[in-house]
């Protein structure tokens, strides 16, 4: 059996895979598109880097005001939040985990979760990356919000 070598593999496909003409390659902070308040079921502010030509993942900048939280929600896609600034904790199903600037928070598919800003003075800023576009392309994307509630209340009121 021949040993797999990544460099050999990539070299073999370089003539087949062409550079993408998709543009823009840079979206400036001022160009982020805020989601309308009626699409956000919690006190957080979400802005999407919607002009990026990604087809399989979505990127947001999320702000949680001091002392507040996101809604309790679940969705079919995976999400990773990079904490740009701030500190807080997350409830993900029956686990609670603290986080701070520079940390990454992983939310597995279809798990109830809620993110809290533990500061009374400073907002939390996240860079949120999710594979929701891929699932939407496949026709299997789903998102459910239980509002500003607990995991137990969400389980009782929202069925699969």
Stretch 81-101: mean pLDDT: 97
Q: For the segment 14-71, what is each residue's pLDDT rounded down to a tens digit?
A: 677 677 788 878 888 899 999 887 777 778 888 988 888 888 999 999 999 999 999 9
Query: What confidence category does residue 100 fall into, taking pLDDT thresholds of 50, 70 and 90?
Result: very high
Residue 115 covered by a domain: yes
Residue 15 covered by a domain: no
Instruction: Please give the tally of structural domains in the chain.
Output: 1
Which CATH number covers residue 95? 2.60.120.10
Residue 79 covered by a domain: yes
Q: What pLDDT shows up at residue 109?
A: 96
Residue 18 covered by a domain: no
Q: What pLDDT shows up at residue 115?
A: 97
Residues spanned by the domain of 145: 25-157
Please give the share of the chain, as a percent, with pLDDT higher than 90: 65
User: Computed from CA positions of residues 154, 138, 39, 24, in that sequence, does the dihedral angle turn out positive or negative?
Assistant: positive
Residue partners of 34: CB distance under 8 A and separation at least 6: 45, 46, 47
28: its two tokens: 């400036």
Residue 116 covered by a domain: yes
Mean of all residue pLDDT scores within the chain: 91
Residue 37 covered by a domain: yes
Distance of CA 154 to the CA centre of its chain: 20
């Amino acid at each position: 059996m021949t040993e797999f070598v990544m460099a050999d593999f990539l070299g073999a496909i370089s003539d087949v895979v062409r550079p993408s003409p998709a543009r823009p390659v840079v979206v400036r902070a001022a160009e982020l598109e805020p989601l309308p308040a009626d699409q956000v079921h919690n006190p957080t502010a979400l802005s999407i880097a919607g002009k990026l030509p990604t087809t399989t993942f979505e990127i947001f900048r999320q702000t949680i005001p001091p002392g507040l939280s996101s809604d309790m929600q679940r969705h079919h896609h995976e999400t990773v939040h990079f904490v740009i600034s701030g500190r807080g904790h997350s409830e993900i199903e029956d686990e609670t985990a603290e986080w701070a600037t520079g940390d990454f928070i992983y939310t597995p598919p279809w798990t109830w979760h809620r993110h809290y800003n533990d500061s009374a003075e400073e907002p939390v800023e996240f860079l949120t990356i999710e594979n929701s576009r891929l699932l939407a392309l496949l026709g299997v994307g789903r998102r459910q919000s239980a509002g500003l509630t607990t995991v137990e209340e969400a389980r009782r009121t929202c069925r699969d």
